[in-house]
């Protein structure tokens, strides 16, 4: 068995692990990064539709979930979105802001991987892909690991950078959680987040004709149980209209923000950015409330349309000027509102108004880790030093990136956490 000695062993060549390796290497540390995948940065490669939403201009602790999102403040400040943008600029990578502060590469996410692997090589970091860790244990002041190829490695510092459980097909494992637990660290409950939500079969059947329809919505979590069918939900719409994308607290323990983004009907339920965002806050048994024409007074618009041309227009046609046509047809059908506007009474119009702007629906689950963009939960932040990501009780052990109980919203926040936490650990490990 060959034996090798390093200052720092980093497990996981994702966003966090590579950033950490660059920083430690630049400090003159002998760094080995191992990853069981064939190539580094696989999630970077597929992110943002192949263009990598690498950060968000507005990143701050309010965009994160976890037992204590404020834990992220120090690292996010010390290596901010602007620091990462500087590196992207220095590497000559062209980028653009798509929406809501989200920055994407103009060309390809591979440019970000190249920037990181080049910087690792320049910093003298050794990268071994296709290599996992068979075992790791405390050895004196440091750690002794046996790699999957049988190599014995000792290192003063060990960095857990192997991410969360999302997308196991891409090599995601619970390794960081298991290893942290083995070293006595507390790990919070983990669950899929930024994930499409699913419906029970009966409801799905009624919604199937809508698969593929996209609509801009305002969505919020609603702990109250719900009536599930759009158009059969007579809740008042007025309170739901046009709530902006801001944090709002509630009697429940978790903050319950409202998100204003696009939603997509799918064959399994609901997806699209708005749904992925709310999925991080949703829990089994809870409902979500959707406004599908945010800021639009649907009742007033339909009444006004009724006054035009003697109310000859079909009600679904009039509604189709407010929401996508297929959705309008489905809402009218479900709400049993048919015929010409002139024939439709005020109560029926109010039902449509509520169906559009106060649809409260109860998902049965999510698509799970198979499609979740991130894992909520992880190594508890009270086990770690917020400046350095070092484990408080195990000298030389560090946890960074998605493995930590810090989870960002959709929109580049998760990569920024990976860069910031990796950078912070890289200053000392
Ligand atoms: P990451 O998962 O990137 O890296 C962990 C590495 O460890 C992997 O390379 C893995 O192979 C390796 N590994 C795991 N177990 C191991 C073991 N036992 N032994 C050895 N190696 C092991 N975020 C964002 O901000 N903007 C975006 O555009 C997107 N888009 C996006 C799309 C999709 C489809 C997904 C799934 C996710 C995103 N994300 C995102 C989230 C983002 O990808 C995620 O938050 C970061 O990749 C987390 O970085 P880490 O380095 O912590 O883990």
Report the pLDDT averaged over residues 334-349: 93
Whether residue 23 has its Cβ less than 6 Å from ligand 1: no
Whether residue 425 has its Cβ less than 6 Å from ligand 1: no
Domain interval for residue 228: 197-366
Report the pLDDT averaged over residues 301-314: 94
Tokens of 239: 């309170």
pLDDT for the residue numbered 331: 95
Whether residue 273 has its Cβ less than 6 Å from ligand 1: no
pLDDT for the residue numbered 228: 54
Verify that 380 and 358 share a domain, yes or no.
no
Question: For residue 55, which atom of ligand 1 is closest to its CA?
Answer: 25
- Alpha carbons 116 and 342: distance in angstroms, whole number: 64
- Burial tier of 285 (Cβ tally within 10 Å: 0-12, 13-18, 19+): exposed
- Burial tier of 56 (Cβ tally within 10 Å: 0-12, 13-18, 19+): buried
**Domain endpoint, select from 317, 341, 366:** 366
Alpha helices in 265-404 (DSSP H): 273-279, 298-307, 315-319, 325-334, 346-357
- Alpha carbons 77 and 249: distance in angstroms, whole number: 25
Characterise 178 by phi-psi region: left (phi > 0), alpha (psi -120 to 50), beta (else). alpha
pLDDT for the residue numbered 346: 93
pLDDT for the residue numbered 229: 53
Verify that 266 and 389 share a domain, yes or no.
no
Whether residue 171 has its Cβ less than 6 Å from ligand 1: yes
As for how many domains the chain has, the answer is 2
pLDDT for the residue numbered 241: 31
For residue 227, pLDDT over 60 is answered with no
Verify that 321 and 387 share a domain, yes or no.
no
Q: What is the CATH number of the domain that holds 60?
A: 3.50.50.60
For residue 209, pLDDT over 50 is answered with yes
pLDDT for the residue numbered 2: 85
Whether residue 133 has its Cβ less than 6 Å from ligand 1: yes
pLDDT for the residue numbered 185: 98
Verify that 165 and 266 share a domain, yes or no.
no
- Name the closest-CA residue to atom 14, ligand 1: 162
- Tokens 């046009």 found at: 242
Verify that 279 and 231 share a domain, yes or no.
yes
At 223, the pLDDT band (50, 70, 90 cuts) reads confident
For residue 254, pLDDT over 90 is answered with no
Report the pLDDT averaged over residues 306-319: 94
- Alpha carbons 287 and 331: distance in angstroms, whole number: 19
Residues 6+ away with beta carbon under 8 Å from 163: 12, 14, 16, 43, 172, 176, 375, 401, 402, 403
Verify that 362 and 406 share a domain, yes or no.
no
CB distance 162 to 12 below 8 Å: yes
pLDDT for the residue numbered 257: 85
Measured in angstroms, how far is the CA atom of residue 418 from the centroid of ligand 1? 9
Report the pLDDT averaged over residues 396-402: 98
Verify that 7 and 148 share a domain, yes or no.
yes
pLDDT for the residue numbered 210: 96
At 332, the pLDDT band (50, 70, 90 cuts) reads very high
Out of 110-124, 200-214, 290-304, 372-386, least confident range = 200-214
- Name the closest-CA residue to atom 3, ligand 1: 14
For residue 251, pLDDT over 70 is answered with no
Query: What's the mean per-residue pLDDT of the chain?
Result: 92
Whether residue 373 has its Cβ less than 6 Å from ligand 1: yes
Whether residue 383 has its Cβ less than 6 Å from ligand 1: no
Choice between 345 and 2, residue whose per-residue pLDDT is larger: 345
Verify that 14 and 154 share a domain, yes or no.
yes
Verify that 205 and 312 share a domain, yes or no.
yes
Q: What percentage of the chain has pLDDT greater than the value 90?
A: 87
Could you tell which of 11, 76, 414 is best to mutate to test the pocket of ligand 1, judged by most ligand atoms within 8 Å of the CB? 414
Characterise 87 by phi-psi region: left (phi > 0), alpha (psi -120 to 50), beta (else). alpha
At 230, the pLDDT band (50, 70, 90 cuts) reads low
Verify that 53 and 81 share a domain, yes or no.
yes
pLDDT for the residue numbered 203: 87
**Domain endpoint, select from 315, 347, 366:** 366
Whether residue 194 has its Cβ less than 6 Å from ligand 1: no
For residue 69, pLDDT over 80 is answered with yes
**Domain endpoint, select from 316, 343, 366:** 366
Verify that 417 and 354 share a domain, yes or no.
no
pLDDT for the residue numbered 288: 96
pTM above 0.85, yes or no: yes
- Alpha carbons 323 and 237: distance in angstroms, whole number: 15
pLDDT for the residue numbered 242: 28
Q: What percentage of the chain has pLDDT greater than the value 70?
A: 93
Whether residue 12 has its Cβ less than 6 Å from ligand 1: yes
Report the pLDDT averaged over residues 2-22: 97
DSSP state for residue 394 in the 8-state scheme: S
pLDDT for the residue numbered 247: 33
Question: Rounded to the nearest 5 degrees, what angle is found at the Cα of 194, between the Cα atoms of 190 and 197?
Answer: 95
Tokens of 265: 């009907």
Could you tell which of 42, 84, 373 is best to mutate to test the pocket of ligand 1, judged by most ligand atoms within 8 Å of the CB? 373
Q: What is the CATH number of the domain that holds 309?
A: 2.40.30.10
Measured in angstroms, how far is the CA atom of residue 163 from the centroid of ligand 1? 6
Q: pLDDT tens digit string along 90-100?
A: 999 999 999 99
Verify that 14 and 139 share a domain, yes or no.
yes
Report the pLDDT averaged over residues 346-350: 95
């Amino acid at each position: 068995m060959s034996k090798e000695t390093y200052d720092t062993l980093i497990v996981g060549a994702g966003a966090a692990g590579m950033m950490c390796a660059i920083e430690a290497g630049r400090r003159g540390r002998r760094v080995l990064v191992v990853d069981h995948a064939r190539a580094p940065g696989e999630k970077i490669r597929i992110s943002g539709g192949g263009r990598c939403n690498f950060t968000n201009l507005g990143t701050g602790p309010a965009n994160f979930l976890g037992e204590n999102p404020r834990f992220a403040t120090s690292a996010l400040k010390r290596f901010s979105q602007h620091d990462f943008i500087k590196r992207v600029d220095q590497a000559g990578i062209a980028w653009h802001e798509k929406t809501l502060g989200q920055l994407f590469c103009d060309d390809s996410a591979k440019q970000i991987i190249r920037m990181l692997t080049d910087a690792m090589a320049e910093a003298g970091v050794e990268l071994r892909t296709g290599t996992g860790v068979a075992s790791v244990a405390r050895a004196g002041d440091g750690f002794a690991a046996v790699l999957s190829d049988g190599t014995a490695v000792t290192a003063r510092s060990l960095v857990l950078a192997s991410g969360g459980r999302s997308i196991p097909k891409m090599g995601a494992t619970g390794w960081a959680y298991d290893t942290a637990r083995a070293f006595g660290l507390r790990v919070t409950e983990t669950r899929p987040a930024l994930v499409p939500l699913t419906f029970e079969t009966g409801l799905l059947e009624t919604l199937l004709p809508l698969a593929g329809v996209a609509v801009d919505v305002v969505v919020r979590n609603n702990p109250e149980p719900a009536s599930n069918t759009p158009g059969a939900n007579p809740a008042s719409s007025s309170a739901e209209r046009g709530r902006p994308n801001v944090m709002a607290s509630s009697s429940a323990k978790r903050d319950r923000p409202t998100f204003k983004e696009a939603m997509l009907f799918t064959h399994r339920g609901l997806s699209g950015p708005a749904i992925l965002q709310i999925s991080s806050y949703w829990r089994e048994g809870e409902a979500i409330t959707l406004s599908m024409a945010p800021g639009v007074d649907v009742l007033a618009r339909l009444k006004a349309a009724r006054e035009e041309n003697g109310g000859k227009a079909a009600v679904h046609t009039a509604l189709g000027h407010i929401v996508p046509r297929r959705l309008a047809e489905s809402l009218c059908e479900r709400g049993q509102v048919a015929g010409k506007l002139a024939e439709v009474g005020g109560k029926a119009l109010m039902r449509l108004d509520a169906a559009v702007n106060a649809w409260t629906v109860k998902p049965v689950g999510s698509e799970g880790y198979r499609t979740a963009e991130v894992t909520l939960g992880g190594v508890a932040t009270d086990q770690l030093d917020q400046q350095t990501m070092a484990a408080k009780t195990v000298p030389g052990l560090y946890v960074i990136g998605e493995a930590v109980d810090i989870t960002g919203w959709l929109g580049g926040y998760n990569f920024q956490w990976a860069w910031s936490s990796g950078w912070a650990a890289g200053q000392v490990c």
